[in-house]
Structure 1
Amino acid sequence: MLILYHGSTSVCSQKVRVGLAELGLSYDSVILDLQKGDQFAPDYRKLNPSAVVPTLVNDGLVVVESSLILEYLDREMGSGQLSPKGEAAQVAADHWMLRTLDMHAAINTLSFSTAARDRIRAKKTPEEIAQDLERMPDPVSRAKRQSLLEDGLASVHVMQALLVLRRAFTDMQAAFEAHDWMMGSAFSKVDVALIAYVDRLDRLGFSGLWLNEFPAIDGWLRAMQTRQSYATGIAAFADPVASKTLRQSGERYWPDLEERWLKLP
């Protein structure tokens, strides 16, 4: 039996849940409360020393990193049904799966420099925030998080995030101008891998990042949001009150973010 350790609103957890739904796979669910720090518990750290979600366990085999989990599930349990056919398409899909690492970092940056920053600073004292940061095992990630919480959109990490997203959106727009899905006429693991990231930006009220310049992305997003896998893997875990607060918080930052976005080359 598959066991999935995941966070309800974690984008990487959403990504894997959508994949599980597309493949029709059932699993035992272990939800970690990331705001309370469940990911730092010693027992969980034995499974995932990086103290992040999701983590998949299958008969004792531990698989970490959301893109690798998707690859594993599709290969071992989905007969490759989410993988495009043909050598060139397979290489292109693998490249996109690698690119999601940078996209995840970008979404993390925009979340923790805006809405998550507001939530954390409102609920915790500076001393509590410092304690949470100290528990992060990766010193680079810790320094980044500290910069985002202290400096907000003025953090050096924000412009890097926007550059990553502009490059990704440029390539996504080109793909959707040619066909309905990322890898062609057939739905694939690349669509699964990307939906949580774009959906998070939409939920933050940041759809202006693509509406004018990359409008085909919005059509793809809305198509993805009609799939049962989206309802199962993302919408079912979204608290309406928290979602409303997230958008309201994000929208306050949008004018500043838009100004920075328009300055990109």
Structure 2
Amino acid sequence: MTNQTTGGQGGPTASLVLYHAWASSASRKVRMCLHEKGLEFEAKIVDLNKFEHHQDWYKKLNPSGIVPALMIDGVPLVESNFINEYLDETYPAPPLRPTDPMLLHDMRLWCKYIDDTCLPAIQKHNWMHHFHPMAREWSDEELERRLDAIPTQNRKHVWYRMARDPYTDEELEAALDILRDMLDRIEARVAKTGFVTGDAYSLSDIAAAPYVIRTEELRPEEVSAAKRPALAPWWQAIKARPAYKAAHMEPFNEQCWSGWTPPS
């Protein structure tokens, strides 16, 4: 377990405890939002390598068995997009959502697109790198035991593939194409207004950040100024934000291991 706090601000007084994993894209989104708000919180690591997210104690916090979960005075909030909207509603400074209803709708559609389309794409690469070498060694009995502890059919299917039917090179390249399309969409948006949604930094930018950094790790040329001249300065500005740095998005290939701690 890792404890972490950051300087607080005014607003409602609540006890915030974040259950998260360092390399989890959804956890990274929530950490960014918490730090943008300057909120004090306790951070507890859920070790995915030890399958703590599939243990009964954690599934009482998040029945889906995925990270993160944010405890607000002992009440668990789940789903990173919903958590971040709660934080922006409850702690409105600085604002991270548009006030214009059409832009708010656009922000929500963008966050849904990231979760529905980009998450499965990045997951293929992350899991093949980290979980496939472990899962392929499981016996049929151990695989059945692991699958029985997973509460959702979608995640059962992904874990089965890690163990017995790994993603092909063609599937991995198709996943990269989805991420390239994401970068193209960001390029078009920031070329017009400077940000993903409207003319201000928002939860849309936060939602994209974990996927852009992982794509940069996989294919650095895709975020270059030569390839995407509008995205490149936007991305450098995102990475320069204090909240981005405080959220710790060090390389996935380092953070995915048990015991990783932020550099001092």
Q: TM-score range by the shorter chain?
A: 0.7 to 0.9
Relative to structure 1, is the Cα distance of residues 193 and 240 closer, same or farther in structure 2, using a 3 angstrom cutoff?
A: closer
* Aligned twin of 1:47: 61
Shift of 1:133: 4.1
Secondary structure at the counterpart of residue 4 of structure 1: strand
* Aligned twin of 2:261: none
Matches within 5 A, 1:1-265: 1-78=15-92, 81-102=95-116, 103-113=118-128, 115-117=129-131, 120=134, 125-127=137-139, 131-148=145-162, 150-154=164-168, 158=172, 161-162=175-176, 164-203=178-217, 205-211=218-224, 213-235=227-249, 238=250, 242=254
Aligned residues of 1:106 and 1:162 also touching (Cα < 8 A): yes
In the alignment, the residues of structure 2 paired with residue 101 and residue 244 of structure 1 have an alpha-carbon distance, to the nearest angstrom, of 20
Aligned residues of 1:147 and 1:155 also touching (Cα < 8 A): no
Shift of 1:136: 2.1
Aligned residues of 2:65 and 2:151 also touching (Cα < 8 A): yes
Secondary structure at the counterpart of residue 53 of structure 1: coil
In the alignment, the residues of structure 1 paired with residue 148 and residue 197 of structure 2 have an alpha-carbon distance, to the nearest angstrom, of 41
Moved over 6 A (4+): none
The structure with the largest helix share of the pair is 1
Counting matched residue pairs gives 239
In the alignment, the residues of structure 1 paired with residue 159 and residue 187 of structure 2 have an alpha-carbon distance, to the nearest angstrom, of 30
Aligned residues of 2:114 and 2:207 also touching (Cα < 8 A): yes
Shift of 1:75: 0.8
In the alignment, the residues of structure 2 paired with residue 92 and residue 241 of structure 1 have an alpha-carbon distance, to the nearest angstrom, of 33
In the alignment, the residues of structure 2 paired with residue 240 and residue 98 of structure 1 have an alpha-carbon distance, to the nearest angstrom, of 23
Aligned residues of 1:109 and 1:148 also touching (Cα < 8 A): no
Aligned residues of 2:22 and 2:255 also touching (Cα < 8 A): no
Query: 5+ residue gaps in structure 1?
Result: 246-265
Residue-by-residue CA offset, 1:59-94 (whole Å, 9 max, x unaligned): 233210111111110011225700123122111111
In the alignment, the residues of structure 1 paired with residue 180 and residue 138 of structure 2 have an alpha-carbon distance, to the nearest angstrom, of 34
* Two-structure CA RMSD over aligned residues (Å): 2.9
Secondary structure at the counterpart of residue 43 of structure 2: strand
Give the TM-score normalised by the residue count of structure 2: 0.78
Secondary structure at the counterpart of residue 85 of structure 1: coil
Query: 5+ residue gaps in structure 2?
Result: 1-14, 258-264
Shift of 1:178: 1.5
Give the TM-score normalised by the residue count of structure 1: 0.78
Aligned residues of 1:15 and 1:192 also touching (Cα < 8 A): yes
Residue-by-residue CA offset, 1:46-70 (whole Å, 9 max, x unaligned): 1111111000111233210111111
In the alignment, the residues of structure 2 paired with residue 24 and residue 36 of structure 1 have an alpha-carbon distance, to the nearest angstrom, of 31
In the alignment, the residues of structure 1 paired with residue 105 and residue 184 of structure 2 have an alpha-carbon distance, to the nearest angstrom, of 19
